Chains A and B, each alone.
Chain A
Amino acid sequence: MKFYGEGIPGVEPSELIGKLIVIEGADGSGRSTQMELLRDYLENHGHATVDVGLRRSTLVSEELKEAKQGNVLGETTRSLFYATDFADQLENRIIPALKSGFIVLADRYIYTLMARDIVRGADSEWIRSLYGIALMPHLVIYLKVSPGQLVERNFRKNSTLDYWESGMDLGLSRDIFESFMRYQKLIQKEFNRMHQEYGFHVVNGNRSIRAVAMELTAKIEAVLDI
């Protein structure tokens, strides 16, 4: 494996014999459903898996949850807080699992964090260097779902739109629906740009669960040679 940039001091990437698969996509893109199906599929084939996601570190996940409630952090502080959460999981979960030959399934990775920060005006060079600590995954799947469908799925699941997923802190519109649509378009634009740079495998997530799952497993078989 390789790091995007400077990497983590003391970690030798050639010792990482596992695989890292990332699924990216907005809330309501079917990410968690596909994650579960994928895990079933891999375990059924005899592969050991470990799952990671955002805001799940022992170190700062509690504090991040708290900070999300009141909009109290500055932009740079919030970026760094999330980066800390990521780094903690990278070093304490992802890297040890990869050393032991696991398939690590990441429910979102640095790309979501980068897109959120860049949409909020962060300097892209700074962000790139910050996440130079990250490992390059073997496969990144981006579940692309139109903002219109995302709205429907979010309402069906939670009966409301989430403040952050609507980008309300950006002040795009005081109307949450309007803000959600505009924010999701901005995020998609950033993902489209990153897709070129990082080589995502883009999957049309507007289709049925089954159709998407079949495309994913086919892709993973091809990439991981399993």
Chain B
Amino acid sequence: MKTELHTELPGRLIAVEGLDGSGKSTQMYLLKRWLEMKGLKVYFTEWNSSVIVKSATSKGKKRQLLTATTFSLIHCTDFADRYERQVLPLLKAGYLVLCDRYIYTAFARDAVRGCSRTWLRNLYGFARRPDIVFFFNTPLPVALSRILSGRPQLKYHEAGMDLRLSHDPYESFRLFQERIYNEYLAMKDEFSFITLDGAASIESQQRLVRETIAQAIDLPRYRWKTLR
């Protein structure tokens, strides 16, 4: 399996990372639209969508059966399923694969829950490094207010309640997100994130995203081979 990691594949892997409310999904959507309208082979995938392990994940979450280690392992299983069945075959088929969250989400979130950073990096060692990782660096108060302003129902793990930081779900969420944010900041050089100012206008962020991609990737190579 390891030899596969370093062989050059025809596809390209682009990931976005950032806090909930950082605006990354909006940027990813605009990027996808742009690439599609250029007539390129694009595929978009997001975290937590695989069918097979879904029942186990939701059962574990509902019954609060998960510890830091099992939480990490079940999400890694879920990721591996999507990786082996979607991401990798698409890269082999020469697609531009866009990932809304990738392994760095797990590195940040699971480290905050207490997992060893070395263990986590090994655990996800089967996954190829993306060609480009955008990190949407949105100031914490901005990201928090985008999520919390509507006073949404926060789920137990989403609010980080298992960390016992606070009894109040909103306060817990704030503290949890702050720790995740710090993990992202500590990782951005290690993994050469391309950091974008999440407080800038949607248009200027998107302009930068598109420029970066056009520079790094030979886009015309990713046109459809068949007539559509």
Q: Measuring CB to CB, which residues of chain A are less than 8 angstroms from any residue of chain B?
A: 5-6, 8-10, 58-60, 62-63, 67, 72-77, 79-81, 83-84, 87-88, 91-92, 121-123, 125-126, 129-130, 132-133
Task: Please give 7 more A-B residue pairs, beta carbons under 8 A apart, in addition to A59-B74, A76-B126, A77-B80.
Answer: A9-B68, A10-B114, A59-B60, A59-B66, A74-B80, A80-B73, A91-B67
**A123 engages B118 (CB within 8 Å):** no
A81 neighbours in B (Cβ, 8 Å): 53, 77
Q: Measuring CB to CB, which residues of chain B are less than 8 angstroms from any residue of chain A?
A: 1-2, 52-53, 55-56, 59-60, 65-70, 73-74, 76-77, 80-81, 83-85, 113-116, 118-119, 122-123, 125-126
**B70 engages A80 (CB within 8 Å):** no
Q: Which residue of chain B has the shortest Cβ distance to A81 in the bound complex?
A: B77
**B114 engages A76 (CB within 8 Å):** no
B69 neighbours in A (Cβ, 8 Å): 8-9, 87, 91, 133
**A5 engages B119 (CB within 8 Å):** yes
**A74 engages B114 (CB within 8 Å):** no
**A126 engages B122 (CB within 8 Å):** yes
Residue pairs across A and B with Cβ atoms less than 8 A apart, 21 shown, are A5-B119, A6-B118, A9-B68, A9-B114, A9-B116, A59-B59, A59-B60, A59-B74, A60-B53, A63-B53, A72-B52, A74-B85, A75-B84, A80-B77, A84-B70, A84-B77, A92-B65, A126-B1, A126-B2, A129-B125, A133-B119
B85 neighbours in A (Cβ, 8 Å): 74
Most buried by B among A62, A84, A121, A123: A84
**A129 engages B122 (CB within 8 Å):** yes
Tell me, rounded to whole Å, the shortest Cβ–Cβ distance linking A110 to chain B.
Answer: 13
Q: Which residue of chain B has the shortest Cβ distance to A7 in the bound complex?
A: B116
Query: Main SS of chain B's interface residues?
Result: helix
For B115, give its contact among A9, A62, A75, A92 (CB under 8 Å). A9
Known contacts being A87-B69, A91-B67, is A80 close to B119, with CB within 8 Å? no
Q: Which residue of chain B has the shortest Cβ distance to A117 in the bound complex?
A: B1
**A58 engages B76 (CB within 8 Å):** no
Inter-chain CA distance A79–B67, complex, in Å, is 19
**B119 engages A132 (CB within 8 Å):** yes
**B80 engages A63 (CB within 8 Å):** no
Tell me, rounded to whole Å, the shortest Cβ–Cβ distance linking A68 to chain B.
Answer: 12
Tell me, rounded to whole Å, the shortest Cβ–Cβ distance linking A124 to chain B.
Answer: 9
Known contacts being A9-B116, A59-B56, A63-B53, is A76 close to B70, with CB within 8 Å? no
Inter-chain CA distance A58–B81, complex, in Å, is 21
**B70 engages A88 (CB within 8 Å):** yes
**B126 engages A83 (CB within 8 Å):** no
Q: Which residue of chain A has the shortest Cβ distance to B2 in the bound complex?
A: A123
